Amino acid sequence: MQTNLEIAVKKAFKEIYSVNIETVEFQATKKDFEGDITIVVFAFLRYVKGNPVEIGTKIGEFLKENVAEVDDFNVVKGFLNLVISDSYFITDFNSIYNQNDFGIVTPNEDDKAVMVEYSSPNTNKPLHLGHIRNNLLGYSVAEIIKASGKKVYKTQIINDRGIHICKSMLAWQRFGNGETPKSSGLKGDKLVGNYYVAFDKAYKEEISQLISQGKTEEEAKKEAPILLEAQAMLRKWEAGDEEVVSLWKTMNQWVYDGFDQTYKELGVNFDKNYFESNTYLLGKDVVADGLEKGVFYKKEDGSVWIDLTEEGLDEKIVLRSDGTAVYMTQDIGTAIERFKDFDLNELVYTVGNEQDYHFKVLFLILDKLGFEWAKNLYHLSYGMVDLPSGKMKSREGTVVDADDLMLEMTNTARSISQELGKLEGYSFEEKEALYKTIGLGALKYYILKVDPKKRILFDPEESVDFAGNTGPFIQYTYARIQSILRKATFDYMCVSLNSDQLSLHEKERELIKQIQLFPEIIQNAAQNHSPAIIANYTYDLVKVYNSFYQTVPILGCTNENEKIFRTQISSKVSQIIKTAFRLLGIDVPERM
Which of 234, 267, 300 lies at the terminal end of a domain, its last residue?
A: 267
Selected residue with higher pLDDT from 397 and 70: 70
pLDDT at 399 (0 to 100)? 67
Which of 50, 84, 118 lies at the terminal end of a domain, its last residue?
A: 84
Question: Which percentage of the chain shows pLDDT scores above 70?
Answer: 98
**Residue 385 — φ and ψ, nearest 5°?**
-110, 125
Give yes or no for residue 10 having a pLDDT over 60: yes
pLDDT at 337 (0 to 100)? 95
Mean pLDDT of 496-501: 91
Give yes or no for residue 373 having a pLDDT over 60: yes
Query: What is the total count of domains within the chain?
Result: 2
In a domain, 240, yes or no: yes
Mean pLDDT of 462-471: 89
In a domain, 582, yes or no: no
Mean pLDDT of 52-64: 96
> How does pLDDT run across 297-315, given as a tens digit for each residue?
999 999 999 999 999 999 9
> How does pLDDT run across 562-589, given as a tens digit for each residue?
999 999 999 999 999 999 999 999 999 9
**Residue 76 — φ and ψ, nearest 5°?**
-120, 110
Which of 66, 84, 102 lies at the terminal end of a domain, its last residue?
A: 84
Residues in Cβ contact with 569 at an 8 Å cutoff, skipping those fewer than 6 apart: 93, 508, 511, 512, 515, 548
Residues in Cβ contact with 592 at an 8 Å cutoff, skipping those fewer than 6 apart: 422, 434, 438, 475, 476, 479, 480
pLDDT at 308 (0 to 100)? 96
Confirm if 268 and 136 have CB atoms less than 8 A apart. Answer: yes
What predicted TM-score, i.e. pTM, was given to this entire model?
0.92
In a domain, 185, yes or no: yes
Give yes or no for residue 63 having a pLDDT over 80: yes
Confidence of residue 393 (pLDDT cuts 50, 70, 90): very low
Give yes or no for residue 391 having a pLDDT over 50: no
Confirm if 504 and 477 have CB atoms less than 8 A apart. Answer: no
Examine the domain organization and report whether 79 and 167 are in the same domain. no
Give yes or no for residue 550 having a pLDDT over 80: yes
pLDDT at 389 (0 to 100)? 66
pLDDT at 13 (0 to 100)? 96
In a domain, 37, yes or no: yes
Find the largest Cα–Cα distance for the chain.
95
Give yes or no for residue 395 having a pLDDT over 50: no
pLDDT at 387 (0 to 100)? 76
Mean pLDDT of 544-554: 97
Confidence of residue 487 (pLDDT cuts 50, 70, 90): very high
CATH number at residue 74: 3.30.1360.70
Specify the range with the lowest mean pLDDT, choosing from 51-55, 81-85, 108-112, 264-268.
108-112
In a domain, 65, yes or no: yes
> How does pLDDT run across 396-430, given as a tens digit for each residue?
445 688 999 999 999 989 988 887 776 778 889 99
In a domain, 142, yes or no: no
Confidence of residue 467 (pLDDT cuts 50, 70, 90): confident
In a domain, 252, yes or no: yes
CA 552 → CA 135, 508, 515, distances in Å?
A: 41, 9, 18
Examine the domain organization and report whether 167 and 256 are in the same domain. yes
Give yes or no for residue 369 having a pLDDT over 90: yes
Mean pLDDT rounded to a whole number for the chain = 94
> How does pLDDT run across 34-48, given as a tens digit for each residue?
999 999 999 999 999
Rounded to 5°, angle at Cα 453 from 451 and 457: 75
Specify the range with the lowest mean pLDDT, choosing from 252-266, 400-414, 505-519.
400-414
Specify the range with the lowest mean pLDDT, choosing from 125-129, 137-141, 350-354, 355-359.
125-129
pLDDT at 398 (0 to 100)? 53
Confidence of residue 394 (pLDDT cuts 50, 70, 90): very low
pLDDT at 466 (0 to 100)? 85
Domain assignment of residue 35, given as a range:
2-84
Rounded to 5°, angle at Cα 449 from 509 and 357: 135
> How does pLDDT run across 218-244, given as a tens digit for each residue?
999 999 999 999 999 999 998 999 999
In a domain, 187, yes or no: yes
Mean pLDDT of 545-555: 97
| 3-state DSSP assignment of residue 322 | coil
* CB-facing half-sphere around the CA of 443: CA atoms within 13 A: 31
